[in-house]
Structure 1
Amino acid sequence: MFKKIVGAVAVTALVSGCVSVQNKPLAADASKALAHKSLAYTEYARADFAAMTAGKAMFGGLGGAAMVHAGNEIVTENNIGDPALDISAALASRLEKSQSMTLASAPVQVPKDDVGTLVAHANGADFLLDVKTLNWMFAYYPSSWSHYHVMYAARMRLIDVHTHAVVAETMCKASQPAKEAEAPTHDELISDHAAKLKSLVNQEVQDCVNLLSSQILHV
């Protein structure tokens, strides 16, 4: 069991890295400043996806690398995109409607996530919505190694391009299914072109969109 716990810690660190995130809801004055301004949102290269199974967890760091390799194969073969882009598009659409903003026709592709790089790629937009996946994986339950849940974490920032100020920021964490009793087996998760995995990821996208829009962006 100890080796399995070590493996879980190793792969989580490998996928998420060390990222500092503040919890900063959009203030009323900042919200007013959005009205009738232009908005773009970011797109990163797809984040690594880890497939954590009990067998791979026994091998610590080497097992973590194997999990990422296996996970990336699953999402590539089944055409599963990074959830951050779907979250961004949904939030941007809500901001566009609620604040009468002009939304860019396509996301801006960015190589790094520092604010200086982001604003340099904003393509003339007044504000930039930045959602980046920090952790994305499925893992077995410690109490039931044959059943799995999907975990997701992302950082959301809304950046004033002109001042480089981050006017809103937080992290969204989601886990599906919500109840362990509803958790699929590994075969159920990835069968039929990973239909169950896609369904759980889509639910996590909606969970994050609802949380971020209501509690942070107020739209």
Structure 2
Amino acid sequence: MLVRFLLVAVLVSLVGCSTIKPKELAGADAGQLQGKTLGYSRYSELPDFIAQTPVNVQFGLLGVATAISNGNSMIRDNKIEDPALDMAKQLADELAAAQKMTVAHAAAAVESADLDKVIAAYPQADYILDMRTSGWGSIYYVSDFNNYKVAYSVHARLIDRKAKTVLAEKACSYTPVYEDTNKAPSYRELKQGVGLRSQLSQSVEYCLADVRKVMGLDLPAALAKTP
């Protein structure tokens, strides 16, 4: 029973289960962005990457600690950068082009997602695109212990710095799943970094498209249509 409970807890942490309701950028708010300065956040720390296996799941809390240690080693050894920062840079450029804004590149790193702390970290910006990795990790297929899923979650906000309000918001979670599990990466491929990068890149593309929708950038022609 304990093993089953811990497995469920790990699964929930991997998908970054959230009650955050999507909030789309309103037309009136979008109009206020024109000509302003847009910053984007950079976080000083990433959440633990939980690399769960059929073996360590049998050892309760000790197994979870092992999964965290092994997962963080995967990230560190393969020099995996924060996917949220890459997304923030790309979406900041797209939003700036659409709204004729100037991008203020992130110099400072923020330690907390607290709204006041994010606002205080980027005083040079009128608006802040805040994107934070909220959870990630890997877990085996229950039907195939040799191959793995990689889950990723990100929380995105467009913040009006002066008003201290959130104009747009979206929590995105994605896990590439294969009907043919042999196409999924093995644990060795995750440790080597190749499998890890390929799975995370799919989540990045999915969440970029998802966040674009609330930012009014969901259509390819959006930039061209901006007056």
TM-score where L is the length of structure 1: 0.90
- Please state how far the C-alpha of 1:33 moved relative to its aligned partner: 1.3
Per-residue deviation at 1:138?
0.9
Q: Does the CA contact (< 8 Å) of 2:14 and 2:136 recur in 1? A: yes
- CA offset at residue 218 of structure 1? 1.1
Task: Answer whether contact 1:15 1:48 (CA < 8 A) is retained.
Answer: no
Mapped contact 1:4–1:54 kept (Cα < 8 A) = no
User: Aligned in 2, Cα 1:41/1:157: closer, same or farther, shift over 3 Å?
Assistant: same
- Asked if 2 retains the 8 angstrom alpha-carbon contact of 1:47 and 1:82, the reply is no
Q: Cα offset for 1:98?
A: 0.8
In structure 1, the residue corresponding to 2:174 is in which secondary structure?
A: strand
Q: Which residue of 2 aligns with 1:217?
A: 215
Residue 20 of structure 1: CA displacement?
4.8
Within-5 A mapping of 1:35-184: 35-44=34-43, 45-181=45-181, 182-184=183-185
Alpha carbons of structure 1 residues 46 and 23: separation in structure 2 relative to 1, 3 Å = same
Q: Does the aligned pair in 2 maintain the 1:174–1:207 contact within 8 Å?
A: yes
What runs of 5+ residues in structure 1 fail to find an aligned partner? Answer: none
For 1:6, give the aligned amino acid.
Answer: F
- Secondary structure at the aligned position of 2:105 is classed as coil
Contact residue 40 and residue 108 of structure 1 kept, 8 A? no
State whether structure 2 residue 5 is matched by structure 1 residue 6: yes
* Partners of 1:13 and 1:4 in 2: CA distance: 14
Aligned to 1:197: 196
Q: Distance in 2 between matches of 1:147 and 1:133?
A: 24
Question: Aligned pair in 2 of structure 1 residues 196, 14: CA closer, same or farther (>3 Å)?
Answer: closer
Distance 1:111 1:188, change over 3 A: closer
Distance in 2 (CA, whole Å) between partners of 1:72 and 1:161 is 33
Percentage of pairs with the same residue:
33
Post-superposition CA distance 1:155-198 (Å, at most 9, x none) = 1111100000101111111112554532122123333xx11211
Query: What is the CA RMSD across the aligned residues, in angstroms?
Result: 2.0
Q: How far did 1:58 drift?
A: 1.2
The answer to whether the 8 Å contact 2:37/2:126 transfers is yes
Conservation of the 8 A alpha-carbon contact between 1:40 and 1:122: yes
In structure 1, give the amino acid aligned to 2:130. D
- Kindly indicate whether residue 208 of structure 2 is the aligned counterpart of residue 206 of structure 1: no
**Aligned-pair distance for 1:132?**
1.1
Counterpart code for 1:55? V
- Structure 2: give runs of 5+ residues left out of the alignment: 218-227
Q: Tell me the secondary structure at the aligned position of residue 206 of structure 1.
A: helix
Q: Work out the CA distance in 1 between the residues paired with 2:140 and 2:154.
A: 21
Amino acid at match of 2:127: F
Taking the aligned partners of 1:81 and 1:165, their CA distance within structure 2 comes to 29
AA aligned to 1:8 is L
Q: Is the 8 A contact 1:8 1:57 kept in 2?
A: yes
Change (3 A) 1:104 1:178: farther
Partners of 1:111 and 1:160 in 2: CA distance: 19
Counterpart amino acid of 2:72?
Answer: N
1:187 matched residue in structure 2: 188
Q: Secondary structure at the match of 1:70?
A: helix
